[in-house]
Structure 1
């Protein structure tokens, strides 16, 4: 199985700010803007919060309320209305899809999505970032692949619900690809009583990637098994061993500043399975 750490959601360049961690510890990865999408931020609801209002508050731009949103990966059924048969789905295209293809990502492989987050508070009826907090990278969701398919008319006819996905509203390209989730997670011992895709419910230290106190969000703290000891293939795009440092039972990684998809071959890292299971449970 391939494990893919996949960068998704708002950040300083896409969206202009971090995604929010709410006072109760719940959090939401904000989908990036997309003028071609059929979905507006104001169409989305999270725990009684209109996402359009949330985006307008956090960006300081009231017009963002009705901007269009690239709801991808689309993991949470409660965010908006769904057609019958809907399944969580990820779209990818161009260079990022090329990297996934070159790494052999296919059915059965598992995406762990991460993004930039910061704590927020409610002040005078508006959401704002907590001035005592700092941005950090954290994991926010997962998707195990059931099917990999090009975005084309045949897929839309076979699975009508998938036509709502934003990658059906992009220009036609051979690299435009959808990854459709399994119904149940399977880490090699048969289907589990855990959904094949979903979002984590509450922020905690196990989901946090950025080293606490680091001035750079891209300095990560990972379980020690990630360290590419002799003979192991490193996490893709991180072949430079100077980026890695062992730190007791953990390791530190200076994550590359660019790139969306980082792939780990678990045949070299079997400890990944128990780590994944602990996260999703």
Structure 2
């Protein structure tokens, strides 16, 4: 099994801002803008909030609620009206999809989604940044692969429930691919139906933060000690340069690559990853 650390949501390059962590700890990953998507920010709901209002407030109107949004991955059933067959879904194309394909990502592998986050405050009915809070990379969701579909060659009658998704509204691309989630997570020693096959973490916790506590930049991560490369072999793809890695008595510090959307970890090489993943998925939901 492989774990794919997949960067998704608002950041300095796409959207121009981080995603918000509310004062009560709840967090939501904001989808990036996408003029080809059929979904507007104002169409998307999250708990008692309309995402269009949040995006408009946090960008000071630079991205209005009426702008189109790349809702991908789409993990929460309540975000939009759904057809009965709906399942959580992720799309990939371009170099990111090529990297997944070249590294043999397949059914049963698990995406862990992370993004750039910052705390916000609600004042006078609007959401505003807490400028004293740090920027940080945080894990916010997951998806275990059940099916992999090529968008240019799929059964339209079987997957009509998925055709709202932005990856079905792109120009023709030979490697445009979508990943459909399992209904329930399948991991060793995890009882059936204990954890959904895809979902989001409802609240921030230190266990979900990747950025090292005292780091000057979000891209410096603090990870469990076992992440440190064995025999010079990097744990993640895109991180072959050993100068990125440091080991302490209790943890591993990694200066993550600026390029590369998907960092892939092979659990065959690092079996400790399965226990670490189970702990995150069962204790932080």
- Give the TM-score band, short-chain normalised: over 0.9
Residue aligning to 1:149: 149
Q: Secondary structure at the match of 1:155?
A: coil
Instruction: Compute the RMSD of aligned alpha carbons.
Output: 1.3
Residue aligning to 1:237: 238
Please give the alpha-carbon distance, in whole angstroms, between the structure 2 residues aligned to 1:100 and 1:155: 23
Q: Secondary structure at the match of 1:60?
A: coil
Residue aligning to 1:181: 181
Aligned length: 281
Residue aligning to 2:211: 210
Please give the alpha-carbon distance, in whole angstroms, between the structure 2 residues aligned to 1:114 and 1:20: 13
Query: 2:221 touches 2:256 (CA, 8 Å); kept in 1?
Result: yes
> For 1:233-280, what per-residue CA distance to the aligned partner results, in whole angstroms no more than 9, with x for missing partners?
531000111101112221000001121000011001101111111111
Please give the alpha-carbon distance, in whole angstroms, between the structure 1 residues aligned to 2:4 and 2:18: 21
**2:123 is the counterpart of 1:123:** yes
Query: 1:149 touches 1:155 (CA, 8 Å); kept in 2?
Result: no
Please give the alpha-carbon distance, in whole angstroms, between the structure 2 residues aligned to 1:35 and 1:193: 38
Report the alpha carbon displacement of residue 170 of structure 1 after superposing the two structures with TM: 0.4
TM alignment of 1:1-281, pairs within 5 A: 1-61=1-61, 64-152=64-152, 154-189=154-189, 191-230=192-231, 232-281=233-282
Query: 2:93 touches 2:177 (CA, 8 Å); kept in 1?
Result: yes
Q: Secondary structure at the match of 1:267?
A: coil
Taking a change above 3 Å as real, the CA distance of residues 268 and 153 of structure 1, as seen in their structure-2 partners, is closer
Report the alpha carbon displacement of residue 157 of structure 1 after superposing the two structures with TM: 2.1
> For 1:58-117, what per-residue CA distance to the aligned partner results, in whole angstroms no more than 9, with x for missing partners?
001165211000000010111111111100011000110000001100001000000000
Please give the alpha-carbon distance, in whole angstroms, between the structure 2 residues aligned to 1:34 and 1:155: 25
Please give the alpha-carbon distance, in whole angstroms, between the structure 1 residues aligned to 2:189 and 2:158: 30
Identify unmatched segments of 5+ residues in structure 1.
Answer: none
TM-score by length of 1: 0.97
Query: 1:233 touches 1:265 (CA, 8 Å); kept in 2?
Result: no
Identify unmatched segments of 5+ residues in structure 2.
Answer: none
Q: Secondary structure at the match of 1:274?
A: helix
Report the alpha carbon displacement of residue 182 of structure 1 after superposing the two structures with TM: 0.4
Report the alpha carbon displacement of residue 232 of structure 1 after superposing the two structures with TM: 4.3
Please give the alpha-carbon distance, in whole angstroms, between the structure 1 residues aligned to 2:150 and 2:193: 28
Please give the alpha-carbon distance, in whole angstroms, between the structure 1 residues aligned to 2:127 and 2:232: 49
Please give the alpha-carbon distance, in whole angstroms, between the structure 2 residues aligned to 1:64 and 1:11: 17
Q: Secondary structure at the match of 1:65?
A: coil
TM-score by length of 2: 0.95
Report the alpha carbon displacement of residue 8 of structure 1 after superposing the two structures with TM: 0.2
Query: 2:152 touches 2:173 (CA, 8 Å); kept in 1?
Result: no
Query: Which has the higher mean CA deviation after the structures are superposed, 127-136 or 29-38?
Result: 127-136
